[in-house]
């Protein structure tokens, strides 16, 4: 048995015995017999011998190891036992061509009995068009035959052998054809011949030493669709070379060097096999390196067969089998995966070596996956990448092999800390993301991911904390997987995305560089039902409560959103990302249709923030239906600011004046409480009166003065409350004025303006004007009081109803009272200014005689000259108007009388008769 003497990595090939004891000697003859050629088709093996026989072996289907049984022996030339040079199988037409002693005989398949279709003579070699593989439906096959004088194209049918074309090319020894191009060699040179146009491209000599005494046999083989392989040397024992030429006749690859001229060559891409002496040498056609040498004890031969031999490769199946990442008891699936792996884990080869001592053996290629695995163990990454890039075989097996090695590459890069390249190959290899998740957190792996056993061997979970760079890469990788949600091509989609979502959120929360927008993007997306509970737990554990509320919002879980916000607002949970929480709660409840939730959290909010809580129930944007009576009862229970604001809304905005008395009494109690309990507020009120009285007229009304001072006040809330109270007191609503007056009477020194309004409501105008003029010195309000019949109109806010001016009579009476009060002012300057302002502004409402009787005699006429002039003018105007009206009336009487007399004249007298 031959052994390999050089194995830098994994040897490209191993020898697999097929037939050890070949029946070379028949019972009829004792002569020494040699195996001269080998051909195979599916389960049949055909051996040509030196005695002109074809031995047929059939593969034993019952054997677990490669084993062939002898089936038949056929003599090609019964009378002339010449060696068999070549067997060419044509199964689509059920024929076999056998070349022996420069003659082709035809035999039938599969029984291999002679067919009398004639012979083709003077033949040195024959070839099929390698670009036109015969199909089962073909009823003919074209064979190119290389003879001593011609190249002949022969059409072979099941019962017919016919010449198609002859091409002049003498002494052709060997040839091989692809489409219309044939590489042909005679004793001295190689040529490329176009069989259609009959054009020739000369190449180079078989022997580069014309003086050599020994002729070298030319060797040709096909490399790819556009490349051929040839040999050249100087002598059998001298160095020789193998050359690859393209269809243009140019050398297209590097040269393969041998120590001697090969006796036989064969190509099975990407390898070239050659027999040098008793050695089989295998070179790479890509790198031209010698990869393997297999020595034999005796001469051997080498052949390429039509139908590659296939056999299982247990080691490949072992690595190729999908196994569970974690423990799994699904024995049925495990057995199924072993069967699938075994189906893929087969290797094929068309290279056969044979000799009498060796028998027939197949050169079984080492699977590419195992070779790449070996390179990976030796960390020869560049060679692996080159091999993957050059991989062009479109088979399903090749796809899985590349997938396998890419997955192992990703783990190699991960172990080396090259996380970017690791991610690249996670994506390229279609890695189950759960395996990546397993590397940094096994808990998040859901379901049972399956992976190649060979890949699982390379899986190492890192110790300690994951580096930040690794987390960033894993975050990016998982984010890419989230974009695949909904893809039908994802296997175990439920468990996969369950794992991905939980793991992605965990990475987000554990990565310092994660932005809140990234977390919100996740929580706002459609998180699966399976990962939803764990996402809640993770967000709670990392105190990302606002993000948790957004997760609830994505599911429209309104109650959970409100409860989360309640805990944050109340301080039970802390989250700085949740700002302006009470306002957010109010706006959210306005959009909520669930009445139960609105009542529960709206009232809770009202207890914290009366204004926003009330907004939830009274804003016109609300979507929930609210029972008004229930709302009133609930807010009454809460009381305080909420109840006050509710009453303000129903009274001022909704114009439900029936609540006005309750609101006024509430305000009364609030203002009295401030006056009684807040010394600072009391002093501030007294000070405001003093400052106001000190102002020189003309000056703004006291209420406007109070508003202007509000920003400087240390008790702004008290000032706002009082202004509201003033506003509602003077409004045109029905409330118990006497009760309010009774309550504030004890505090009249502080609530001066309030007393004015109440006196006005009770028509106690003398008292009201007395306060305005003498206690407050608010002359502007006094004028307004007279104009509007006892109403003070300067307080801010929206009073109920529109205030209109009083009747002229009422105004006259009030201005009379005001004149009297002005004349009682202590300050002479104020007395004169206010009186002049009254007389000049509204003196036309006053009787001249009343004014003259009221004005002190000590006053000069000059002080009231303007009033007197306007009064006299008014009197003159009135007298003229009176005379004019009498004149007009007299003229009208004359006109009507004249018209009456004219009518009587026209009608004539009327005589009335007695009845």
Annotate 2-24 with DSSP letters as a single string.
---S--SSS-SEEEEEEESS---
Whole-number pLDDT of residue 10:
79
Q: Is the pLDDT of residue 763 over 60?
A: yes
Q: How far is CA 500 from CA 485, 490, 519, 904, in A?
A: 10, 13, 14, 117
Q: Is the pLDDT of residue 797 over 90?
A: no
Q: How many CA atoms lie within 13 A of 650 on its CB side?
A: 21
Q: What is the CA radius of gyration of the chain?
A: 58
Q: What percent of the chain has pLDDT over 90?
A: 61
Q: Is the pLDDT of residue 21 over 90?
A: no
Q: What percent of the chain has pLDDT over 70?
A: 92
Surface-to-core class of residue 735, CB atoms within 10 Å of its CB (0-12 exposed, 13-18 middle, 19+ buried): buried
Tokens, residue 95: 């024929």
pLDDT category at 344 given cuts 50, 70, 90 is: confident
Q: With helix as H, strand as E and coil as C, how does 450-490 read?
A: EEEHHHHHCCCCCCCCCCHHHHHHHHHHHHHHHCCCCCCCC
Q: Is the pLDDT of residue 804 over 70?
A: no
Burial 832-862 (b: 16+ CB within 10 A, else e): bbbbbbbbeebbebbebeebeeebeeeeeee
pLDDT category at 732 given cuts 50, 70, 90 is: confident
Whole-number pLDDT of residue 61:
85
Q: Is the pLDDT of residue 682 over 60?
A: yes
- Residue entry with tokens 């114009």: 655
Q: How far is CA 831 from CA 275, 533, 716, 863, in A?
A: 139, 82, 34, 11
Q: Are 623 and 592 in contact (CB under 8 A)?
A: yes
Q: Is the pLDDT of residue 391 over 80?
A: no
Run of H or E including 898: helix 865-907
What is the Cα 430 distance to its own chain's centre? Answer: 18
Q: Are 451 and 432 in contact (CB under 8 A)?
A: yes
How far apart CA 199 and CA 222 sit, in angstroms, is 20
Q: Are 509 and 519 in contact (CB under 8 A)?
A: yes
Contacts of 279 (CB under 8 A, 6+ apart): 293, 294, 295, 296
Q: How many CA atoms lie within 13 A of 720 on its CB side?
A: 8
> What is the end-to-end Cα distance of the chain in Å, rounded?
172
**Beta bridge partners of residue 451, listed in sequence order:** 323
How far apart CA 765 and CA 628 sit, in angstroms, is 40
How far apart CA 180 and CA 195 sit, in angstroms, is 5
- Measuring CA to CA, which residue among 753, 831, 760, 816 is closest to residue 789? 760
**Beta bridge partners of residue 157, listed in sequence order:** 140, 160
How far apart CA 708 and CA 738 sit, in angstroms, is 31
- Measuring CA to CA, which residue among 138, 37, 47 is closest to residue 95? 138
Phi, psi (rounded to 5 degrees) for 329: -105, 10
| Whole-number average pLDDT of the chain | 88
Residue 484 has a CB neighbour count (10 Å cut-off) of 14
Burial 878-889 (b: 16+ CB within 10 A, else e): eeeeeeeeeeee
Q: Is the pLDDT of residue 524 over 90?
A: yes
- The model's pTM is 0.70
**What is the pLDDT averaged over residues 63-87?**
87
Whole-number pLDDT of residue 863:
78
Give the angle 29-35-41 at the CA atoms, nearest 5°. 115
pLDDT category at 28 given cuts 50, 70, 90 is: low
Q: Is the pLDDT of residue 668 over 90?
A: yes
Whole-number pLDDT of residue 884:
66
Give the angle 32-44-48 at the CA atoms, nearest 5°. 25
- Measuring CA to CA, which residue among 422, 400, 421 is closest to residue 411? 422
Q: How far is CA 87 from CA 16, 55, 56, 92, 341, in A?
A: 22, 11, 12, 15, 35
Residue 579 has a CB neighbour count (10 Å cut-off) of 9
Q: Is the pLDDT of residue 7 over 80?
A: no
* Helix/strand/coil percent split, the chain, to 5: 45, 20, 35
Peptide bond into 110 cis (omega under 30): yes
pLDDT category at 598 given cuts 50, 70, 90 is: very high
* Residues 851, 852, 857, 862, CA torsion sign: positive
How far apart CA 825 and CA 829 sit, in angstroms, is 9
Q: Is the pLDDT of residue 501 over 70?
A: yes
Q: Is the pLDDT of residue 795 over 80?
A: no
Q: Is the pLDDT of residue 767 over 90?
A: yes
Q: Are 812 and 843 in contact (CB under 8 A)?
A: no
Model pLDDT for residues 734-747, shown as the tens digit of each residue: 899 999 999 999 99
Query: Among 373-377, 417-421, 564-568, 892-896, which is the least confidently predicted range?
Result: 892-896
Q: Are 355 and 21 in contact (CB under 8 A)?
A: no
Query: Among 47-61, 798-812, 832-846, which is the least confidently predicted range?
Result: 798-812
**What is the pLDDT averaged over residues 201-209?**
92
Q: Is the pLDDT of residue 579 over 90?
A: yes
**What is the pLDDT averaged over residues 169-190?**
95
Run of H or E including 174: strand 174-178
pLDDT category at 879 given cuts 50, 70, 90 is: low
Surface-to-core class of residue 347, CB atoms within 10 Å of its CB (0-12 exposed, 13-18 middle, 19+ buried): buried
Q: Is 774 helix (H, G, I), strand (E, B) or coil?
A: helix
Q: Is the pLDDT of residue 704 over 50?
A: yes
Whole-number pLDDT of residue 22:
87
Q: Are 557 and 533 in contact (CB under 8 A)?
A: no
Q: Is the pLDDT of residue 362 over 80?
A: yes
Model pLDDT for residues 709-723, shown as the tens digit of each residue: 888 888 888 898 899
How far apart CA 288 and CA 270 sit, in angstroms, is 10
- Residue entry with tokens 């050089």: 6
Q: Is 207 helix (H, G, I), strand (E, B) or coil?
A: strand
Q: Is the pLDDT of residue 79 over 80?
A: no
Q: Is the pLDDT of residue 847 over 60?
A: yes
pLDDT category at 883 given cuts 50, 70, 90 is: low
- Residue entry with tokens 């279709």: 117
Tokens, residue 521: 């993007």
How far apart CA 575 and CA 547 sit, in angstroms, is 9
Q: Is the pLDDT of residue 8 over 60?
A: no
Whole-number pLDDT of residue 471:
92
**What is the pLDDT averaged over residues 145-170?**
93
How far apart CA 185 and CA 171 sit, in angstroms, is 8
Q: How many CA atoms lie within 13 A of 273 on its CB side?
A: 27
Q: Is the pLDDT of residue 136 over 90?
A: no
Q: Is the pLDDT of residue 799 over 60?
A: no
């Amino acid at each position: 048995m031959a052994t390999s003497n050089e194995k830098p990595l994994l040897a490209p090939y191993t020898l697999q015995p097929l037939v050890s004891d070949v029946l070379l000697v028949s019972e009829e003859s004792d002569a020494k017999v040699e195996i001269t050629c080998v051909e195979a088709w599916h389960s049949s093996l055909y051996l040509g011998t030196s005695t002109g026989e074809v031995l047929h072996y059939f593969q034993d289907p019952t054997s677990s190891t490669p084993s062939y049984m002898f089936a038949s022996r056929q003599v090609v030339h019964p009378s002339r036992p010449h060696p068999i040079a070549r067997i060419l199988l044509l199964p689509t037409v059920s024929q076999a061509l056998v070349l022996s002693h420069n003659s082709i005989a035809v035999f039938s398949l599969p029984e291999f009995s002679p067919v009398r279709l004639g012979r083709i003579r003077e033949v040195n070699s024959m070839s099929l068009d390698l670009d036109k593989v015969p199909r089962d439906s073909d009823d003919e096959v074209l064979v190119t035959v290389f003879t001593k004088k011609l190249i002949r194209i022969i059409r072979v049918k099941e019962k017919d052998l016919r010449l198609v074309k002859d091409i002049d090319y003498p002494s052709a020894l060997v040839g091989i054809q692809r489409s219309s191009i044939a590489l042909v060699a005679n004793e001295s040179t190689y040529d490329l011949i176009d069989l259609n146009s009959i054009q020739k491209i000369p190449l180079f000599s078989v022997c580069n030493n014309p003086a050599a005494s020994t002729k070298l046999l030319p060797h040709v083989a096909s490399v790819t669709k556009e490349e051929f392989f040839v040999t050249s040397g100087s002598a059998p024992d001298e160095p020789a070379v193998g050359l690859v030429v393209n269809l243009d006749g140019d050398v297209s690859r590097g040269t393969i060097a041998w120590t001697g001229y090969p006796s036989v060559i064969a190509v099975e891409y990407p390898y070239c096999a050659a027999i040098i002496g008793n050695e089989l040498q295998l070179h790479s056609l890509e790198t031209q390196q010698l990869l393997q040498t297999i020595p034999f004890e005796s001469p051997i031969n080498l052949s390429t067969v039509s139908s590659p031999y296939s056999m299982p490769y247990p080691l490949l199946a072992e690595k190729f089998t999908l196994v569970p990442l974690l423990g799994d008891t699904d024995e049925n699936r495990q057995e199924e995966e072993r069967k699938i792996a075994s189906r893929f884990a087969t290797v094929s080869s068309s290279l056969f070596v044979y000799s009498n001592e060796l028998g027939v053996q197949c050169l079984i290629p080492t699977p590419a996956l195992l070779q790449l695995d070996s390179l990976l163990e030796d960390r020869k990454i560049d060679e692996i990448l080159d091999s993957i890039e050059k991989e062009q075989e479109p088979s399903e097996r090749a796809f899985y092999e590349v997938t396998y090695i890419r997955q192992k590459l990703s783990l190699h890069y991960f172990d080396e800390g090259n996380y970017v390249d690791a991610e690249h190959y996670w994506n390229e290899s279609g890695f189950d993301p759960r395996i990546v998740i397993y590397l940094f957190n096994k808990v998040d792996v859901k379901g049972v991911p399956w992976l190649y056993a060979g890949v699982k061997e390379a899986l190492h979970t890192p110790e300690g904390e994951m580096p930040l760079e690794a987390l960033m890469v894993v975050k990016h990788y998982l984010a890419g997987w989230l974009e695949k949600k909904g893809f039908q091509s994802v296997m175990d989609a439920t468990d996969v995305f369950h794992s991905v979502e939980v793991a992605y959120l965990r990475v987000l929360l554990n990565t310092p560089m994660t932005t809140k927008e990234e977390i919100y993007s996740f929580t706002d997306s459609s998180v699966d039902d399976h990962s939803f509970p764990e996402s809640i737990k993770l967000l709670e554990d990392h105190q990302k409560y606002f993000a948790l509320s957004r997760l609830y919002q994505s599911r429209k879980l309104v109650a959970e959103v409100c409860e989360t916000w309640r805990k944050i607002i109340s301080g039970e949970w802390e989250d700085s990302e949740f700002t302006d929480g009470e306002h957010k709660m109010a706006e959210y409840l306005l959009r909520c249709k669930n009445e139960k939730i609105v009542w529960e959290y709206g009232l809770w909010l009202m207890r914290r923030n009366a204004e926003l809580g009330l907004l939830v129930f009274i804003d016109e944007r609300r979507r929930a239906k609210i029972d008004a009576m229930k709302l009133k009862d609930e807010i009454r229970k809460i009381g305080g600011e909420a109840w006050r604001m509710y009453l303000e809304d129903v009274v001022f905005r909704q114009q439900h004046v029936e609540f006005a008395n309750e609101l006024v009494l509430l305000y009364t109690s609030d203002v009295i409480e401030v006056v009684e309990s807040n010394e600072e507020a009391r002093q501030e009120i007294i000070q405001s009166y003093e400052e106001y009285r000190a102002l020189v007229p003309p000056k703004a009304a006291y209420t406007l003065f109070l508003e202007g001072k509000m920003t400087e006040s240390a008790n702004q809330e008290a000032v706002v409350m009082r202004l509201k109270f003033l506003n509602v007191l003077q409004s045109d609503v029905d409330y118990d004025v006497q009760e309010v007056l009774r309550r504030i009477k004890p505090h009249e020194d502080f609530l001066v303006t309030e007393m004015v309004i109440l006196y006005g409501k009770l028509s106690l105008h003398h008292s009201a004007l007395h306060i305005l003029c003498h206690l407050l010195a608010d002359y502007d309000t006094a004028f307004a009081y007279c104009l509007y019949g006892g109403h003070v109109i300067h307080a801010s806010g929206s009073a109920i109803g529109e205030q209109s001016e009083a009747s002229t009579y009422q105004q006259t009476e009030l201005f009379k009272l005001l004149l009297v009060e002005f004349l009682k002012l202590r300050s002479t300057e104020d007395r004169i200014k206010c009186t002049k302002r009254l007389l000049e502004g509204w003196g036309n409402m006053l009787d001249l005689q009343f004014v003259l009787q009221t004005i002190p005699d000590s006053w000069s006429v000059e002080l009231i000259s303007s009033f007197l002039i306007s009064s006299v003018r008014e009197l003159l105007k009135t007298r003229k108007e009176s005379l004019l009206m009498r004149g007009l009336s007299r003229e009208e009487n004359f006109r009507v009388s004249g018209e009456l007399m004219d009518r009587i004249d026209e009608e004539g007298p009327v005589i009335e008769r007695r009845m």
